[in-house]
Structure 1
Amino acid sequence: MNIALSIGHHPRSQGCDTIDGSFTEYSLWATHLPLLRQHLEAYGHTARIVNRTQAGGSTPSFAAAACNAVHADLAIEFHFNAADTPEATGTETLYWRGSALGKIAAEMLQQAMTGILKLRDRGLKTVSSPNDRGYEYFHKTRMPALMLEPAFAATNAGDWARLRDTMPALMAALAATIHRYSETVNN
């Protein structure tokens, strides 16, 4: 299977900072997605790390274009959450409402993330309307696509600590789960 691992945001506008200021959304995933790619390649998959700047822009529609350009079978965009209150916590996964395969992948990866992070399961979030978060990304991808929000790392110190401290295990669990997804949809 060919998987596009899309780094959320872009070099000039890197998204939220972690609560301790050590990473932005962009820098966190640029640092850690190579490990996920390595695990996926060990399972025999092709994994390409992409970013919207590779498609010539800075908006989510360019993230979709970057995923489409590598002819991915599954696209996953990586982010982390922020909230108005430091009490907000948990893990959520977004997918395109009309995508049966996207929903299967979302369910599997959400379970993998909550299993490792041990944070509140905020569930799956469907995207179908221009007002929904990530609409342009989902609307323009040509394959099952997900957006992962594993923790409120920007505003909750406990969430950030869990994400930071479990990152190697999380990358391994996501790779194993993507491999299981591949076996599920290809059988």
Structure 2
Amino acid sequence: MKKIALIIGHNEKNKGAYSEYLKISEYDFYSKVLDVLFKKYQEAFNLKEEFVKNIQDKITIFRVPNTGYSKEMEKVVNTLEKNNFELAIELHFNATPNHNQYGNTVLYWHKSIEGKKLAELFQEIMTSYTEVKKLDLIPINSLKQNGAYGIMKSKCPYILLEPFFGDNKIDTNKIDIEKMAEVLFLFLNEINQVKISNNYSSLEEENKKLKKALLEIKNRIGEILDEAL
């Protein structure tokens, strides 16, 4: 299993964008999302609460308020290296001055094949589970781009999620804390290919879709071989 860091965007001092529809900031939204996420792990694997809380504390990284974005992110990157994380996922939601955009996207290092694949995987899960539409991915190749610091400075693959626009009713009607936690739950388990036996109907549906797709591919390969022979 990959050692994955979950980085909550912004901090207690600068909480990021505020959603009038969800009545919450980026920082507070994901603080609550991760609590729900780890509760799902506790229930799915029948784990002790103390054990799960310990894991949550070890892999959740907060941006400590400092003298600015670069200084804060420098500490985040140092934490990633010090603890040998193999993947970093930074959590945000989007907003625009005109409040007229909607959809989900992911930022990744433009030369990272793994980063791009993970970004595409997240979008597939996000869209299939919430129906928030897919936007173009955002490849990062300059520190001048918003959100670029961790992506460019980290030694491990690093992606920055923008799953929805918090200032748009089209997206916020499709998302809440519970749904966002479920999307991350599915995404992280898909990354690590964890098979879970539980009553999460959404996960069961995803497994059914995957098995059906694999069967169709297998049958099609058989047809191609028959045609060739």
TM-score of the two chains, using structure 1 as the length reference: 0.83
Alignment of structure 1 residues 1-187 onto 2, 5 Å: 1-20=2-21, 22-37=23-38, 48-53=59-64, 59=69, 60-153=73-166, 155-164=167-176, 166-180=179-193
Identity of aligned residues (%): 26
TM-score of the two chains, using structure 2 as the length reference: 0.69
Cα offsets for 1:44-78 (capped at 9, x unmatched):
xx661111219x66523333333333321110000
Q: Which segment is superposed worse, 143-152 or 111-120?
A: 111-120
Separation of aligned partners in 2, 1:38 and 1:73: 23
Q: Which has the higher strand share?
A: 1
Separation of aligned partners in 2, 1:67 and 1:57: 20
**Equivalent position SS for 2:77:** helix
Separation of aligned partners in 2, 1:39 and 1:21: 22
TM-superposed CA distance for 1:111, in Å, is 1.2
Which structure has the higher relative contact order (CA within 8 Å, separation 6+)?
A: 1
How many pairs align? 179
70 and 149 in structure 1: CA distance in 2 versus 1, 3 angstrom threshold: same
* Structure 2: unaligned runs, 5 residues or longer: 46-54, 195-229
Q: Which has the higher helix share?
A: 2
Cα offsets for 1:85-112 (capped at 9, x unmatched):
3331000011011212211211111211
* Structure 1: unaligned runs, 5 residues or longer: 182-187
Question: What amino acid does structure 2 have at the position aligned with 1:114?
Answer: T
Query: Which is higher, the Rg of structure 1 or of structure 2?
Result: 2
171 and 138 in structure 1: CA distance in 2 versus 1, 3 angstrom threshold: closer
Separation of aligned partners in 1, 2:120 and 2:174: 21
Question: What amino acid does structure 1 have at the position aligned with 2:25?
Answer: T
RMSD (Å) for aligned C-alpha atoms: 2.7
Separation of aligned partners in 1, 2:174 and 2:131: 8
